[in-house]
Amino acid sequence: MSRDEASRLALAVVPSLRWLSALGTVSCLVVLAHPAPWSVFGFMVAGQFLVAIPALAIVALVIWQAASAHGHVRRAHPPREP
Amino acid sequence: MRTFADFAQLLGLLLASTALLLLILAARAWRRAPFEAASVGLHVAALFLLPAALFFLTHRVVAERLKTVEFCGSCHVMDPYVADLNDPESQTLAAVHHQNRLTGEHSCHACHSGYGLAGNFEAKKAGVRHVIRYYTGRYETPLAIPGGLSNRSCLGCHEGARRFSARRPHRVYAQELAHDERRCIECHGPAHP
């Protein structure tokens, strides 16, 4: 994947990651404010993953962007000769 | 008296609110210039740094809260058991242990979870199953533990204690007790009303 493709991927997924993280954060907020069976259940089966998955994904994206900026990631199309 | 879980709860609420605020700021920065350093920094803070701290804090708080009698009693099906725990006239094992503070604030958890990390994990798995059954109405009363309460729950604290070892039946039936072939509850019941 080239740097441009990585950027396009980031542009496509980052807004969704923000929404997922926001839902996960709200789940944490609810369970912290009111630790009842339903809120704990929501956090255990969904909330914790909604927090963890965007966190891991954003780190992966940042590392990918940094690696491609330093030329560690293979370009899909080599630059043309002048 | 405030415990660590109380402070963690306050800190968690603060972190969660900050994370939501940062998510809004990150979204605005992303719309202006997606790959600028400020935007990337905001995203790393809002999607990774704060949520990572929040994740562990919430787990810590939830793990502590799940052990309290108050939490177990928040399902109505547990009302008679919690009422018995606090009844000064009750002579059930649970009430005697709870009121003499032998099991502290975590009386339900102390007897109904195994020891060590695996015990905690199993208790959480069982808890999730119980919540599903509670909300879907798939349970029968009176509640019963499949297979009965293992002696391990009792022996974890009592085995080797001076008063326990001084009783002849405990020495005579030590092997049977260790292997659940003879239940503690047969002589010492009832555990609950």
DSSP B63-119: HHHHTSHHHHTTSGGGHHHHHHHT-TT--SHHHHHHHTTSSTT-HHHHHHS-SHHHH
Position with higher pLDDT, A52 vs B150: A52
pLDDT tens per residue across all 193 residues of chain B = 567 778 888 999 999 999 999 999 999 999 988 888 888 899 999 999 999 999 999 988 888 888 888 888 888 888 888 898 888 888 888 888 988 888 877 888 888 877 777 777 777 777 778 888 888 888 888 877 777 788 888 888 888 889 888 889 898 988 888 888 888 988 887 888 8
| Residue A20 phi, psi dihedral angles, 5° rounding | -60, -45
**Is the minimum CB–CB distance between B16 and chain A shorter than 8 Å?**
yes
Question: Which residue in chain B has the smallest CA separation from A69?
Answer: B35
**Is the minimum CB–CB distance between B9 and chain A shorter than 8 Å?**
yes
Is A3 a residue whose pLDDT tops 70?
Answer: no
List pLDDT tens digits, range A12-38. Answer: 899 999 999 999 999 999 999 988 888
Mutate to test the interface with A, among B10, B21, B44, B58 (most CBs of A within 10 A): B58
Interface ipTM above 0.85: no
Q: Would you state the pLDDT for residue B45?
A: 93
Cα-based distances in Å from B181 to B150, B152, B184: 10, 12, 10
> Does residue A25 contact residue A52 with C-beta atoms inside 8 Å?
no
Is A73 a residue whose pLDDT tops 70?
Answer: no
Q: What is the DSSP letter of B141?
A: S
Q: Would you state the pLDDT for residue A18?
A: 94
